Structure 1
Amino acid sequence: MNIVDFIEHDALTPGSFEGDTWEPWKAILSGAFGLPMDDERLALFKELSGDREAPTERVRELFVIAGRRSAKSNTAAAVAVYLATVGAEIDGLLDKLKPGERGVVQLVAVDRDQAKVLLGYIHGMFDASPSLNAMVTKRNAESIDLDNRVSIQVATNSFKSVRGRTAIAVLMDECAFFKDEHSASPDIELYRALVPALATTGGLLIGISSPYAKKGLLHQKWRKHYGQNSDILVIQGATTQFNPTIDRRVIDDAIEEDPEGAKSEWLGQFRDDISGFIQREVVERAMRTDPLEYGHVKGVKYFGFADPAGGGKDEFTMAIGHVEDETTVIDVVRGQRGTPAQIVAEYAELFKAYGVRKIVSDRFAGTWPADEFKKHGIECEQSASPKSQLYADALSRFNSGQVELPPDDKLVTQLCNLERRTSRGGRDSIDHPAGQHDDRANAVCGLLDVARGRRYVPISEWM
């Protein structure tokens, strides 16, 4: 039984698809698995695949870029069930497992809530089919074990958690939105970790997502393979192409309110108003091998910057640096969460250990930092520039090789995650993506601005 017939007869549950949303997916899956198509289905496949030729055998990778309400997660779940049952046998993937080894169909989601949604769809499909339900030997909150030595497992996007497993298939749900505080490119790192897991079986890798910025794994695959005849199939379509029953007024209102956001969410297009700010290679080139912190050196003039936080999820960060020729050396970067007054006391002692008596702080911190640092003998002046401007001014310093960073992985990640956004009026701003942080990046770029000596503390007063 091929995947289209299987999903129609065994995996579809009431309400699985709205209106005619199953038709585009039949064309996509027929192409991905090299199934014959009639003229109507082939025309739909070509429309969604950039007019490439239909594959004659199963592809190695499938990436689907689709707008909202396109039944992406439901389809991913149905495909997972097929690949774990009938598909694993048809492709001979089970024969490639070692005696006693279990193969894994790995579903990777943005977060735990989305992972639970995927597993809920899968549970529903097994519950609705007596033949499928009879294969289940064990269920828990994260996996379903089957009697054919295959497990379906859901996980969040951590490249560490997927290593060491033999995968017969991998599905990445909403992969354009993978994020990790400790990684600047979690989608790419996850992909690199998953490919070896599929090497033994030659299983299928699938990424299904709405698009976002023109960066990351999904955009790379689209740029290289969309419309190209290869064993990597890339599909792209608007919500209306996947779900013609959607109320067009919803999309029109979204376009009028936020054209770029609607372009991504409903039209299936990558956003033009969001781009990466700084290339990872540039940041890594600026990073020294060691040590993490330089100690105080007598006769060197140091300066400092602080980015206070109010005790929430943000870190209260600070940085100390000095200038050597044309290079600003970042000697110390620290960040911590806790009671702000206690952190100020600790940082004040550290500043004084480097001979720093005057510092600059983030301009949105208000007057509290100046008052608190003053209690400990540190004069604190608020930055004259907003955070976005500090980032913009720092870029040329990085690109010209005039920065030396400590080997701080969190700092590198925050710098690489920064995004440049262009407003409808054409004005640029630079900030961290939603749900992420930039506290250490802000402290470093603020310090680079202080090092230029343009606005704040004359060099003669740094000591």
Structure 2
Amino acid sequence: MAISITQFASDSNLLNTPLWDKQSEILEEFWAGNYAIAVWALGRRSGKTLMSAIVATYCATMLADEYKRHLRPGEKFYIISVANTIDQAKIALQGVKDLINGSPILKPLIVRETTDTLELRNGAVFRALTASSRSGRGMACPLLIFDELAHAVDTEAGNAAGSSLYQALSPSVAQFGKIGKILLLSSPWIQSGIFWDLYKQAASGNFAHMQVVQAPTWEVNTTISAEFLEQEKARDPELFKVEYGAQFTGNIAAFIDNQLVDAAINSDRGLLPPLNKFNGTYYLALDPAKGGRDAYTACIVHYDGELVVVDQFHQFAPTWGDGKKTQVAVSLVEDWILEQHKAYGFASVVLDQYNSSSTIQRLSGRVKIRELTWTASSKTEAYSKLRELFNGGSIELYPHPKANGQIKNLTVTYRPNGTWGVSGGTGAAVDDYPSALAGAVLMATNRINKQQIIPAKSYRTW
């Protein structure tokens, strides 16, 4: 081959894009080893999109004549990049467009550009597809790139979507024999799904046609600062291992390390009385019981400098029911809120959307009260902040066996699409205290930072 891929990337008349040492090493190994499949598990900000764009451009231009030997006269060949969303797909294609448009030698090859294609005079067509698309079937495709395959899902198939997509499109390279290649690149996620399965196969060493690379961000991107990495690690050590450390994780893990919960407990105090100097800076959040099975809980917090102090947890006692399904009298809850407001002077009171609309309406003229709609987005934000506080030693609890026990029992489930959910387990009354605490933390933090709580409605009328 006349020119190597790293020379192709760095040549000022071609791509004029010098690579980091580790990037060059990965790309050179891919071509020198004549691999048919490459599995790159790389940390965030490792330049994965750029690397895939360089591979795509190299194949479309330097290998075009070799590909044409496997085509009918006049037949086009397709370089397909598959991403999880349309925006991500366009970013991947834009990377190729930018490289070619910036090259004095390659730019004249462009025949046509659209939002999802780029066509060259030599018969190469770059095509961007989303993970839910099946339109790539049947194309003559010497190079197939899967971007962030570890996170590939669709609405119906869940984690199986990545597998079904791979099975549907991978035969497209077969007609090109040994020069047909599949590139799978992603930041790792959970230990399941097609990316994990292919990673295990490649890492086993039993498949000579498969290249495997696993590298943390700082090993690839030497320009990233140690300070930035330390900040990210302090915010969420477990997520840091996955996103930047390039480590696969189990589906379920403890949400907050029990030692961090113990370290946050101030054993020398109990409930804190309201203090005048904090009047107007206290926040109350309530987690109403749903259907009589859960506990109706409340949590009061305030900021003391950078420290979030939990002043008190409270659980409302059921007052009526048939013994099997008891209920809390809403009027007693409302009386308690007003009584506490007189003492603490709440900056705000927040209730979630369950069983609380009547209370919100009745108290809206007397207390600044807000409704927090728990969605995947707002819950993730609230619990992310809660975990960040524990990780940073910036929250103070007091001895409350039930509340602290529920916090310790929280688990996080990592989903194949890159999201995660928090749960206290199965059954009733397993995470009522943490839910109230997360709501209070979200309200207090957003108000301190002068951010709009998401999504919430204000009912203050005075």
TM-score bracket, normalised by the shorter chain, equals: 0.5 to 0.7
Q: Is the 8 A contact 1:181 1:437 kept in 2?
A: no
Choose the corresponding residue for 1:158, options 132, 152, 172: 132
The residue aligned with 1:143 is 117
Once residues 174 and 210 of structure 1 are traced to their aligned partners in structure 2, the CA distance between those partners, rounded to angstroms, is: 6
The offset of 1:73, in angstroms, is: 0.4
1:397-421 deviation digits (Å, cap 9, x = unpaired): xxxxxxxxxxxxxxxxxxxxxxxxx
For residues 430-445 of structure 1, what are the structure 2 equivalents within 5 Å? none
Once residues 209 and 165 of structure 2 are traced to their aligned partners in structure 1, the CA distance between those partners, rounded to angstroms, is: 20
The offset of 1:367, in angstroms, is: 4.0
For the pair 1:243 / 2:241, whether they are aligned, the reply is: no
The residue aligned with 1:174 is 148
Number of residue pairs matched?
Answer: 274
Q: Secondary structure at the match of 1:130?
A: coil
The offset of 1:129, in angstroms, is: 1.3
The residue aligned with 2:8 is 6
Choose the corresponding residue for 2:55, options 76, 79, 88: 79
Choose the corresponding residue for 2:70, options 89, 96, 100: 96
Once residues 261 and 167 of structure 1 are traced to their aligned partners in structure 2, the CA distance between those partners, rounded to angstroms, is: 36
Between the aligned residues of both structures, percent identity stands at 27
**Structure 1 residues 98, 274: CA separation in 2 closer, same or farther (over 3 Å shift)?**
farther
Choose the corresponding residue for 1:195, options 170, 174, 181: 170
**Structure 1 residues 263, 430: CA separation in 2 closer, same or farther (over 3 Å shift)?**
closer
TM superposition score normalised by structure 1? 0.54
The residue aligned with 2:40 is 64
The offset of 1:161, in angstroms, is: 2.1
Once residues 205 and 434 of structure 1 are traced to their aligned partners in structure 2, the CA distance between those partners, rounded to angstroms, is: 21
Unaligned runs of 5+ in 2: 254-290, 292-351, 358-405, 428-462
For the pair 1:267 / 2:245, whether they are aligned, the reply is: yes
Amino acid at match of 2:183: I
Amino acid at match of 2:130: T
Q: Is the 8 A contact 2:414 2:420 kept in 1?
A: no
The residue aligned with 1:288 is none
Q: Secondary structure at the match of 1:201?
A: helix
Amino acid at match of 1:68: R
Choose the corresponding residue for 1:133, options 104, 107, 118: 107
Once residues 7 and 426 of structure 1 are traced to their aligned partners in structure 2, the CA distance between those partners, rounded to angstroms, is: 51
For the pair 1:204 / 2:176, whether they are aligned, the reply is: no
Q: Secondary structure at the match of 1:116?
A: helix
Once residues 198 and 431 of structure 1 are traced to their aligned partners in structure 2, the CA distance between those partners, rounded to angstroms, is: 32
Amino acid at match of 1:12: L
The residue aligned with 1:118 is 92
Unaligned runs of 5+ in 1: 35-54, 276-304, 306-363, 370-422, 439-444, 447-463
1:356-399 deviation digits (Å, cap 9, x = unpaired): xxxxxxxx873499xxxxxxxxxxxxxxxxxxxxxxxxxxxxxx
The residue aligned with 2:354 is 366
Q: Is the 8 A contact 1:136 1:146 kept in 2?
A: yes
**Structure 1 residues 424, 120: CA separation in 2 closer, same or farther (over 3 Å shift)?**
farther
Once residues 227 and 431 of structure 1 are traced to their aligned partners in structure 2, the CA distance between those partners, rounded to angstroms, is: 25
Q: Is the 8 A contact 1:65 1:211 kept in 2?
A: yes
Amino acid at match of 1:8: S
Once residues 420 and 30 of structure 2 are traced to their aligned partners in structure 1, the CA distance between those partners, rounded to angstroms, is: 38
**Structure 1 residues 270, 134: CA separation in 2 closer, same or farther (over 3 Å shift)?**
same
The residue aligned with 1:234 is 212
**Structure 1 residues 131, 63: CA separation in 2 closer, same or farther (over 3 Å shift)?**
same
Amino acid at match of 1:271: T
The offset of 1:434, in angstroms, is: 6.3
For the pair 1:427 / 2:410, whether they are aligned, the reply is: yes
**Structure 1 residues 68, 433: CA separation in 2 closer, same or farther (over 3 Å shift)?**
closer
1:299-333 deviation digits (Å, cap 9, x = unpaired): xxxxxx9xxxxxxxxxxxxxxxxxxxxxxxxxxxx
The residue aligned with 1:105 is 79
Amino acid at match of 2:38: L
The offset of 1:130, in angstroms, is: 2.2
**Structure 1 residues 79, 104: CA separation in 2 closer, same or farther (over 3 Å shift)?**
same
Q: Is the 8 A contact 1:159 1:189 kept in 2?
A: no
The offset of 1:99, in angstroms, is: 2.4
The residue aligned with 2:31 is 33
The offset of 1:257, in angstroms, is: 2.2
Once residues 194 and 164 of structure 1 are traced to their aligned partners in structure 2, the CA distance between those partners, rounded to angstroms, is: 8
Q: Is the 8 A contact 2:151 2:418 kept in 1?
A: no
1:4-37 deviation digits (Å, cap 9, x = unpaired): 2212215534xx56xxx52112111111111xxx
Amino acid at match of 2:10: E
**Structure 1 residues 246, 430: CA separation in 2 closer, same or farther (over 3 Å shift)?**
closer
Q: Is the 8 A contact 2:15 2:103 kept in 1?
A: no
